[in-house]
Amino acid sequence: MASSSAVTFDASAPWSLSPEVSLRDEAFGALAYHHGNRRLVFLKSRELVELVRRLGEFESADVAIGAVIAPGEHDRYVEALSLLVTSEILRGR
Amino acid sequence: MGADATLRDRFERGLAAPICLTWELTYACNLACTHCLSSSGRRDPDELTTAEAKSLIDEIAAMQIFYVNIGGGEPMIRRDFFELVEHAVGQKVGVKFSTNGTRIDAAAARRLAGIDYLDIQVSIDGADAATSDRIRGDGSYAQARRAMDNLKAADFGQFKISVVMTRESVEQLDEFEAMAKGYGAELRLTRLRPSGRGVQVWQELRPTAEQNRRLYQWLLGRPNVLTGDSFFHLSALGSPLEGLNLCGAGRVVCLIDPVGDVYACPFVIHEQFRAGNVRDAGFAQVWTNSELLRSLREPGSPGACGACGSYDACRGGCMAAKFFTGLELTDPDPECVFGHGETALAKKAPSSLPTTSPDHSRRIPVSISPR
Ligand code: SF4
Ligand code: SF4
């Protein structure tokens, strides 16, 4: 198993989907597969999928969440993104 | 990331494409393992051509199937083996291939080590030559170890050592763990199922109930040991093992055999579970529209397991194991940890066993000598 990366998630920094990751849409959201570390991760909502896809367009994860996700859910999505950083699905820009 | 209950329900209804697609490249094999799940030995004259195989890979890429598990037979026997692997990884379709190791000499190991997105699992059936060769044939253990040595020398990185759990090999768990550690390899343990030639040896080779309980405990403490989700019937003993803990056949799991026939799972190569052929209108068409696969995605009845408090953990076990032992698909798994499978088996007449599956066994077993 790949060890958890030491990178921590700072939501005020810019992030994007790793170029090593493929996304496949599914009825529940999407599957994300990291070709390098071979991890398969389940993105369990359409909103999260859209956020992950568009993350790279924004100056920070906070701004991306503000633009894509309904207000009031900010903290939940920060947590979801931070898990995706741990599995290297996302990477800092 | 583990799957929660709602996600598992979604998976049971099937996905847009498989997660775990196995593609057996050839029925040809230079070994004759007694438990071979695909009854391999002789090449089938109707196997997919290189051009057909490449267009299948293109379709797999288009379906966004992230990786394909290549097996056989012995996949490296196909002369276009490297060509096909390179065609797949070139489109970022990862390849995980399963081999008996006989063809991994130093040069092949170096070539394999140069390919990205490639995982290799070398199969053995014992931690020593005597135990392993009883199942895989004389000399096979030494050749598998030589393959591992070559991979290590070529700096392949982390390959996998794959072992089917039998009454003998399950007593050698710590030895396998040490062997994997010595190579910097991962250990992968899978369940012996009564599929292919395995149907003839299953009763005598399968671990006892007590051995299965010990295996479960051993695995619980070692989440890094890979199991391909194959022991989820043991999750009824307590905390769930790593994995999705469901029968993925036709839902997230699928098999394409060397002649392009599509089966619900690699362990059910039998007419009753044949969903179609990729030569007709491609694989996606079979995956999406086959009546058989669609029926496997319907909510199943828990049948005789309905009254069991552990149904949520074990889901009634493995469809293939039930089918090839003559049980109904709504019966408990033949290796149900509470013994309900044994009770169901005892009630079946021997005549309820399914008739034979496609068999490519060689008629005269061969023994191999080191090259
Ligand atoms: S009765 Fe069925 S659900 Fe319960 S443990 Fe046995 S096989 Fe699993
Ligand atoms: S039939 Fe058995 S081996 Fe095949 S997917 Fe289901 S549980 Fe796994």
At A14-72, the pLDDT tens digits run: 999 999 999 999 999 999 999 999 999 999 999 999 999 999 999 999 999 999 998 89
Distance (Å) from CA B370 to ligand 1 centroid: 45
CA distance B273 to B293: 9
**SS3 assignment, position B47:** coil
- What is the per-residue pLDDT across B12-48, written as a single tens digit (0 to 9) for each? 899 999 999 999 999 999 998 999 999 999 999 999 9
**pLDDT score, position A3:** 46
Distance (Å) from CA A26 to ligand 2 centroid: 22
Residue in chain A closest to B64 (alpha carbons) equals A24
ipTM score: 0.88
What 8-state DSSP symbol labels residue B127?
S
Is the CB of B300 inside a 6 Å radius of any atom of ligand 1? no
Residue A4 belongs to a domain: no
The stretch B158-176 carries a mean pLDDT of: 98
β-partners of residue A25 are: A30
- What is the per-residue pLDDT across B310-328, written as a single tens digit (0 to 9) for each? 998 999 999 999 999 999 9
Distance (Å) from CA B49 to ligand 1 centroid: 43
**pLDDT score, position B368:** 56
β-partners of residue B124 are: B163
Band the pLDDT of B358: cuts 50, 70, 90: confident
Q: Is A3 on the interface with B (CB under 8 A)?
A: no
A interface mutation test: which of B12, B13, B64, B92 has the most A CBs within 10 A? Answer: B64
B interface mutation test: which of A3, A23, A39, A42 has the most B CBs within 10 A? Answer: A42
Asked if B39 and B360 touch (Cβ cutoff 8 Å), the reply is yes
- What is the per-residue pLDDT across B81-139, written as a single tens digit (0 to 9) for each? 999 999 999 999 999 999 999 999 999 999 999 999 999 999 999 999 999 999 999 99
- What is the per-residue pLDDT across B247-280, written as a single tens digit (0 to 9) for each? 999 999 999 999 999 999 999 999 999 999 999 9
To the nearest whole Å, the CA of B241 is away from the closest chain A CA by 16
Residue A6 belongs to a domain: no
- B275 contact partners, CB below 8 Å, separation of at least 6: B250, B254, B262, B263, B264, B286, B287, B290, B292, B293
Instruction: Return mean pLDDT, chain B.
Output: 93
Nearest partner of B336 among B249, B248, B236, B238, judged by Cα: B236
To the nearest whole Å, the CA of A66 is away from the closest chain B CA by 26
User: Which residues in B lie closer than 8 A to residue A35 (C-beta atoms)?
Assistant: 66, 92, 94, 117
Nearest partner of B258 among B97, B128, B70, judged by Cα: B70
Residue A8 belongs to a domain: no
Is the CB of B18 inside a 6 Å radius of any atom of ligand 1? no
Q: Closest residue (by CA) to atom 6 of ligand 1? A: B336
What 8-state DSSP symbol labels residue B195?
-
What domain range includes position A30?
15-92
Residue A37 belongs to a domain: yes
Band the pLDDT of A6: cuts 50, 70, 90: low
SS3 sequence of chain A: CCCCCCCCCCCCCCEEECCCEEEEEECCEEEEEECCCCCEEEECCHHHHHHHHHHHHCCCHHHHHHHHCCCCCHHHHHHHHHHHHHCCCEEEC
Band the pLDDT of B356: cuts 50, 70, 90: low
Residue environment code for B311-344, b if the CB has 16+ CB neighbours within 10 A, otherwise e: eebbbbbbbbbbbbbbbeeebbbbbbbbebbeeb
User: Which residues in A lie closer than 8 A to residue B7 (C-beta atoms)?
Assistant: 28, 42, 44
Distance (Å) from CA B339 to ligand 1 centroid: 9
Report CA Rg, chain A. 12
| B7/A42 touch (CB, cutoff 8 Å), yes or no | yes
Distances, alpha carbon B87 to alpha carbons A19, B58, B292, in Å: 20, 9, 30
To the nearest whole Å, the CA of B310 is away from the closest chain A CA by 25
Residue type, B329: L
- B287 contact partners, CB below 8 Å, separation of at least 6: B17, B18, B63, B254, B262, B275, B293
**At A83, which CATH number?**
3.90.930
Residue A43 belongs to a domain: yes
- A53 contact partners, CB below 8 Å, separation of at least 6: A17, A23
To the nearest whole Å, the CA of B66 is away from the closest chain A CA by 7
Residue A3 belongs to a domain: no
Task: Name the residue with higher pLDDT: B11 or B77.
Answer: B77
User: Which residues in A lie closer than 8 A to residue B16 (C-beta atoms)?
Assistant: 24-27
Size of interface A-B (CB pairs under 8 A): 39
| A27/B66 touch (CB, cutoff 8 Å), yes or no | no
What 8-state DSSP symbol labels residue B228?
T
**pLDDT of residue A2 exceeding 70:** no
Q: Which of B308, B328, B342 to mutate to test the pocket of ligand 1 (most atoms within 8 A of CB)?
A: B308
**Domains identified in chain A, total number:** 1
Residue A69 belongs to a domain: yes
pTM of the shown model: 0.93
- For strands B261-263 and B253-256, give the pairing: antiparallel
Distance (Å) from CA B328 to ligand 1 centroid: 13
CA distance B249 to B292: 11
- For strands B186-191 and A90-92, give the pairing: unpaired
Nearest partner of B57 among B29, B28, B81, judged by Cα: B81
**pLDDT score, position B362:** 82
For residue B332, the ligand 1 atom closest to its alpha carbon is 7
Residue A22 belongs to a domain: yes
Tracing tokens 């309980």 back to the chain, one arrives at: B213
Asked if A53 and A23 touch (Cβ cutoff 8 Å), the reply is yes
